[in-house]
Structure 1
Amino acid sequence: MPHGDLPGLLALTFRAVMDQIHEHLAAEGFDDVRPAHGFAFQYLSHSGGATAVELAEHLGVTKQAAVQLIDELEKRGYVERRPHPTDRRARMVGLTQRGWQCIERVVAWSVDAEARWAGLIGAGQLDQLRNGLIEFVRDAARERPVKLRPVW
């Protein structure tokens, strides 16, 4: 029986896990990473790098806002700019070793969270939940691309 609260519960779950992960990251020396940075890291880790325009489009921000974010992440050592392979006017942004290390820690803490959830509801139920969520995303993607990005 539908209750209408599932989207809110999913958002709260995401927020609770991200808050925990960021506490762990801070304790491990990544105290300068904000949750919003994770959306850029996620995109860069799956795309192999991007221009400021591509990152802006993904995040749903202006090119100027993306450049500011890139500047901030570069200053902190998480990304680097390098020449674009085919466009001499453009620059590619990619993750540095520190950026990849941060992602590795996020993945490790995410795996830990899933293990805790399996302990709470059972591994079989967690697999069912994961498979159901995959179907929800596939269904939504039939209408428009589904991007993991902040809701500004």
Structure 2
Amino acid sequence: MAAEIPALLAMAFRSVMDEVHEHLAAEGFGDVRPAHGFVFQYLSHREGATAVELGQHLGVTKQAAVQLVDELEQRGYVERRPHPTDGRSRMVVLAPRGWACVERVVAVWTEIERRWVDLIGADQVHRLRADLRAIVAESGQPVALRPVW
């Protein structure tokens, strides 16, 4: 069935993320929701972001982003710091607990990929990774990893 691939990609992602969240809950990160992961991923690749930038990345209003940051700050995953150039803004950065959560996610992803190697072989996993990169690049535009609300 030709139209099956997008659904299989979505199901594979869901399967992986369900397993990640099971591991996180067992390791003391049971208060992390899927939407938090998109914030962690975004912050882990830069030196922080404002609530406006997070809102733009997530596709939500500034107010919704501020509410999400408040929640993550209360849970110890992010910290607010002074903006280096704009005295009116604050930068949101991952706190040590946020970095620890990111490290656990990467470890679980690595283990899942090892299982895929056992299941379909190293060459197939390498090819899958290359093929998916090509599919993403084919759009010709940067594709943000963000929730589809």
TM bin (shorter chain): over 0.9
Does 2:133 correspond to 1:146? no
Alignment match, 1:102: 101
Alignment match, 1:115: 114
Percent identical pairs in the alignment equals 67
Q: Which amino acid aligns with 1:97?
A: P
Q: Aligned pairs, how many? A: 149
For 1:40-51, list aligned pairs within 5 A. 40-51=39-50
Alignment match, 1:62: 61
Does 2:38 correspond to 1:21? no
Q: What is the distance in 2 between the residues matched to 1:7 and 1:148?
A: 16
Could you say what the CA RMSD is over the residues aligned between the two structures, in angstroms? 0.8
Alignment match, 2:51: 52
Match of 1:47, SS? coil
Instruction: List 4+ stretches of structure 1 deviating above 3 A.
Output: none
Match of 1:50, SS? coil
How far apart are residue 145 of structure 1 and its match? 2.6
Post-superposition Cα deviations, 1:4-62, rounded to whole Å, max 9, x if no partner, equal 11111011000001000100000000010011100000000012210000000000000
Structure 1 portions without partners, runs of 5+: none
How far apart are residue 63 of structure 1 and its match? 0.2
Structure 2 portions without partners, runs of 5+: none
Q: What is the distance in 1 between the residues matched to 2:76 and 2:116?
A: 33
How far apart are residue 111 of structure 1 and its match? 0.2
